Amino acid sequence: MSSEGSPGSADTPLIPDQRRELLIKLLRGHSVLSVHQLTELLGVSHMTVRRDIAALERQGRAVSVPGGVRIAGQLHHEPSFVDKSTMDQPAKLAIAARAGELLQDGTTVYLDAGTTCQALVPHIVRRQGMTVVTNDFTTANALMGNPDVEVIHTGGRIEHANRSTVGRLAAQTLTQLALDIAFVSTSSWDLQRGVTTPSSAKVEVKQAAMASASRSVLLTGSAKYGTFGMYRVAALSEFESIVTDEGLSPAARETLRAQGIATFVATATG
């Protein structure tokens, strides 16, 4: 079989944009490919493939993984509370421990709905004079038996699957409060689109918490990086920092930091 006209042919070299479009086309057929596979399929060097992956990652079209790349995917539905409570527990505990270092006595903290933010509760109860504002029923329940922590629930329309409240009423509560720090969770994030969600009812609550807080910190797992929902919450640059886990690839870490986004990688123990 002749190699004439193939992607890596010396007679028909592809310009970078053409090669990257071909790389995306290959990923649509395979979802994940290794750097080695791509060097053979594209007929270029490892260095060229890595440059292409970095460029596609900046565009939000692909995500580097150890040894390769996967295509960025759209999230159509968020997992339920039951599903999330069994996923990536060591990573969530590590993220919470790192985020707990940002806490100080006498702080008013917003904890967004989600199991990663819930993992911050043990770190909060060790502090003095804390106030917790949350739209999450599981978080509120966990603090119910601790009279030393003042708890404010936002109220609002109940989202049963995630045991939280969403919508205009919850957001309006947050607009009446002055928060020191808002810990925001997300099921999808990337550099180009920022924090997104497939649920329009969650957008207003997250944005209201960020607007009411002096500081906003994103707590999110690396497995969610490179996915996106239909509704945009905020750019990553709107957060003071991001706390994620060690599964985030070195290439993604470098890309985020090169954009001036403070990114802290928490290491799971045990």
Percent of the chain with pLDDT over 90: 61
How far, in whole angstroms, is CA 73 from its chain's centroid?
13
Instruction: Please give the average per-residue pLDDT across 7-28, as a whole number.
Output: 77
Q: What pLDDT is stored for residue 62 in this prediction?
A: 80
Give the burial class of 25: count Cβ atoms within 10 A of its Cβ; 0-12 exposed, 13-18 middle, 19 or more buried.
exposed
- Name the phi and psi angles at 186, rounded to 5: -160, 155
Q: Is 43 left (phi over 0), alpha (psi -120 to 50) or beta?
A: left
Mean of the per-residue pLDDT values of the chain = 89
Burial 53-90 (b: 16+ CB within 10 A, else e): bbbbbeeebbbbbeebbebbeebeebeebeebeeebee
Q: Would you report the helix, strand and coil content of the chain in percent, each value rounded to 5? A: 40, 25, 35
Name residue 228's amino acid. F
Q: Is the pLDDT of residue 150 over 80?
A: yes
Does the model's pTM come out above 0.85? Answer: no
Q: Is the pLDDT of residue 43 over 70?
A: yes
Tell me the per-residue pLDDT of 84-117, one tens digit each, with 9 for 90 and over.
666 678 999 999 999 999 999 999 999 999 999 9
Percent of the chain with pLDDT over 70: 91
- Name the phi and psi angles at 267, rounded to 5: -105, 125
Confidence of residue 67 (pLDDT cuts 50, 70, 90): confident
Q: What pLDDT is stored for residue 65 in this prediction?
A: 80
Q: 124: which residues sit within 8 A by CB, 6+ positions away? A: 100, 103, 109, 130, 132, 143, 149
CB 262 within 8 A of CB 241: yes
Confidence of residue 64 (pLDDT cuts 50, 70, 90): confident
Instruction: Please give the average per-residue pLDDT across 233-238, as a whole number.
Output: 97
To which H or E segment does residue 55 belong?
helix 46-58
